[in-house]
């Protein structure tokens, strides 16, 4: 059973969130908030839900709460703190009221370029969305279902044997009960590559053909064990459409796969074309590689900050003896 989140706990979570977004934030306050969340699973869930709501209404709610009068700072400096209480009360009531509207069993969540977002479902499951990701969620008494329409998401599934957790991606579905796994769904690329991948961190999942699939690259169910990654390839047909090809099962280094949560990309002996495609997911300044197979297949390794394509292009150009050119609002890597 998911933890019971009471109105009182939600109100306390809203107060903590308002304090952390206020001018008096400090290291001590952050540690106190972490201690408050550690009191129970309900406290953690309340804070995560409140954070999600705060982000959803940032344009309105943040302005109403954080634009509190400067006398709040004066009262705090004098040791009073009375000026803080009205703003915190409004924050608590506003956040709790918004939850009544926001906790729907069917919903769509997404991130833009370079964004990440934590979604906590009503059952306690956590979804961490990477850049440029869209998912659809449907919760019923019998099933927990998520469709990954594009992008990459980490799933930390709350245990509930009576309600399977099913993630649909492309022509496949991942069935779990309580586990942690990563799903990445890539749009078709000129060179093909992986259509989607599933990496299992803990627990057990079954990857199988979706009920609606007419044709599938999956010949039968694949039972995965922790540490395994299943990748389904894609090829580009003469018509320009993508077709799913075979499957591959391997055991990659797991830490680099979640490096995006730390704001970096760990590239380990990948082609320049693959490296550029990965970095472009995080930036509105696209990088292209000059039309040369020899350049596209150069190998790249390193740790790079995501979202800074200019720095990445300069570093790779120095590493591979290339030049960086400005072209069509983006950057191009070319030979000298």
pLDDT band at 104 (very low <50, low <70, confident <90, very high): low
DSSP per-residue codes, 65-133: HH---THHHHHHHTT--TTHHHHHHHHHHHHHHHHHHH--SEEEEE--TT--EEEE-TTS-EEEE-SS-
Percentage of residues of the chain with pLDDT beyond 70: 73
Q: What is the CATH number of the domain that holds 280?
A: 3.55.50.30
Range of the domain at 291: 263-335
Other Cβ atoms within 10 Å of 209 Cβ, number: 17
Distance between CA 203 and CA 205 in Å, rounded? 7
Choose between 12 and 287: higher pLDDT: 287
Choose between 273 and 24: higher pLDDT: 273
Give the range with max mean pLDDT: 8-17, 204-213, 252-261: 252-261
Q: Is residue 2 part of a domain?
A: no
Residues 92 and 192 in one domain: no
Last residue within a domain, chosen from 254, 281, 302: 254
Residues 293 and 273 in one domain: yes
pLDDT band at 211 (very low <50, low <70, confident <90, very high): low
Residues 140 and 50 in one domain: no
- Token pair 């440029």 is found at 132
* Cβ partners under 8 Å of residue 1, min gap 6: none
Number of domains in the chain: 3
- Give residue-wise pLDDT tens across range 298-322: 999 999 999 999 999 999 999 999 9
Q: Is residue 83 part of a domain?
A: yes
Residues 290 and 324 in one domain: yes
pTM: 0.67
Residues 96 and 115 in one domain: no
Mean pLDDT of 7-18: 77
Taking every pair of C-alpha atoms in the chain, what is the biggest distance, in angstroms? 73
**Least confident window among 21-25, 137-141, 221-225, 268-272:** 21-25
Choose between 244 and 145: higher pLDDT: 145
Q: Is residue 215 part of a domain?
A: yes
Residues 31 and 124 in one domain: no
Model pLDDT, residue 93: 40
Residues 98 and 71 in one domain: yes
Q: Please, what is the end-to-end C-alpha distance for the chain in angstroms?
A: 62
What integer best gives the mean pLDDT of the chain? 79
Q: Is the pLDDT of residue 95 over 90?
A: no
Model pLDDT, residue 69: 37
Model pLDDT, residue 335: 93
Model pLDDT, residue 68: 36
Q: Is the pLDDT of residue 81 over 70?
A: no
* DSSP for residue 52: H
């Amino acid at each position: 059973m998911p933890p019971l989140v009471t109105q009182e706990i939600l109100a306390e979570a809203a107060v903590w969130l308002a304090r952390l977004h206020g001018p008096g934030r400090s290291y001590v306050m952050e540690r106190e908030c972490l201690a408050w969340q550690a009191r129970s699973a309900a406290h953690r869930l309340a804070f995560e839900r409140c954070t999600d709501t705060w982000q959803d209404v940032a344009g309105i709610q943040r302005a109403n709460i954080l634009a509190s009068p400067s006398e709040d700072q004066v009262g705090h400096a004098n040791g009073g703190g009375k000026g803080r209480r009205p703003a915190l009360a409004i924050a608590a009531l506003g956040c709790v009221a918004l939850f009544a509207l926001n906790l729907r069993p069917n919903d769509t969540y997404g991130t833009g370029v370079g964004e990440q977002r934590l979604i906590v479902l009503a059952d306690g499951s956590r979804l961490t969305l990477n850049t440029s990701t869209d998912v659809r969620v449907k919760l019923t008494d019998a099933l927990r279902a998520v469709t990954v329409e594009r992008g990459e998401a980490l799933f930390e599934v709350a245990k509930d044997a009576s309600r399977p957790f099913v993630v649909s991606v492309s022509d496949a579905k991942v069935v779990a009960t309580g586990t942690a796994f990563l799903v990445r769904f890539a749009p078709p690329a000129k060179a093909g590559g992986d259509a989607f991948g599933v990496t299992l961190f803990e627990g057990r999942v079954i990857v199988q053909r979706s009920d609606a699939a007419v044709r599938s690259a999956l010949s039968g169910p694949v039972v995965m064990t922790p540490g395994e990654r299943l990748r389904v390839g894609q090829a580009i047909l003469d018509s320009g459409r993508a077709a799913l090809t075979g499957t591959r099962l391997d055991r990659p280094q797991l830490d680099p796969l979640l490096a995006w949560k730390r704001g970096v990309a760990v590239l380990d002996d990948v082609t320049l074309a693959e490296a550029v495609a990965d970095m472009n997911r995080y930036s509105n300044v696209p990088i292209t590689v000059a039309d040369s197979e020899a350049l596209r297949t150069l190998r790249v390794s390193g740790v790079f900050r995501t979202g800074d394509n200019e720095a990445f292009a300069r570093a790779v150009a120095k590493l591979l003896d290339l030049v960086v050119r400005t072209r069509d609002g983006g950057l191009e890597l070319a030979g000298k």
